[in-house]
C-alpha cells in the first residue's frame, strides 16, 4: 500500500481566512514533503520534514506554516494568502529522504 491521503480535496478561502491542509500516511515513512504546483508546471518543493524535523524550507513566505505533529501526519497552515497562491498543493512521503516519493491526490486551493 502506497497511499498518501490529503484533505480537503478542494478549498476556497478569502485573503483574510486561516485554514489548514492535512496529509496522512501509514506506511511508516519518516520523510514528508509539501509541494506547490501551478497549472502546466512541475511540482515545486516547499518543505521537507525528516524524522519530524523541518530539514528544508525553500524560501517559502511565512503565510505558509508547516507542522509535523507525528511521523504519520503533516499539516500546512495557511494565513493571509494572496490570489497568486491558488494552486494544487501536493503532499508526498518516502521511507527516508533518499527513497521513492509517493504523492497524495492533492488539495486544489483557490484564494479569492
Partner 1 sequence: EDQVTQSPEALRLQEGESSSLNCSYTVSGLRGLFWYRQDPGKGPEFLFTLYSAGEEKEKERLKATLTKKESFLHITAPKPEDSATYLCALGGTGANNLFFGTGTRLTVIP
Residues that bind partner 1 (CB under 8 A): 2, 4, 6, 33, 40-43, 45, 48, 50, 55-56, 88, 90, 92, 94, 97-106, 108
Q: Which residues contact 63 (CB under 8 A, 6 or more apart)?
A: 78, 79, 80, 81, 82, 85
**Closest CB 74 distance from partner 1, rounded Å:** 14
Q: Closer CB to partner 1, residue 16 or residue 39? A: 39
Alpha carbon distance 12, 17 (integer Å): 10
Alpha carbon distance 103, 2 (integer Å): 9
Alpha carbon distance 50, 29 (integer Å): 9
Q: Closer CB to partner 1, residue 79 or residue 103? A: 103
Q: Closer CB to partner 1, residue 55 or residue 82? A: 55
**Closest CB 89 distance from partner 1, rounded Å:** 10
**Closest CB 48 distance from partner 1, rounded Å:** 6
Q: Closer CB to partner 1, residue 73 or residue 105? A: 105
The β-bridge relationship of strands 10-13 and 107-111 is parallel
Amino acid at each position: 500500500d502506497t497511499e498518501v491521503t490529503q484533505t480537503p480535496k478542494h478549498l476556497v478561502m478569502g485573503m483574510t481566512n486561516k485554514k489548514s491542509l492535512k496529509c496522512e500516511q501509514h506506511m511508516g515513512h519518516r520523510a514528508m514533503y509539501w509541494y506547490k504546483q501551478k497549472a502546466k508546471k512541475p511540482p515545486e518543493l516547499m518543505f521537507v520534514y525528516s524524522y519530524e524535523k523541518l530539514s528544508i524550507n525553500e524560501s517559502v513566505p511565512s503565510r505558509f506554516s508547516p507542522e509535523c505533529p507525528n511521523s504519520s501526519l503533516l499539516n500546512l497552515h495557511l494565513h493571509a494568502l494572496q490570489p497568486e497562491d491558488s494552486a494544487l498543493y501536493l503532499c508526498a512521503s518516502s521511507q527516508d529522504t533518499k527513497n521513492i516519493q509517493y504523492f497524495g491526490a492533492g488539495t486544489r486551493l483557490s484564494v479569492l
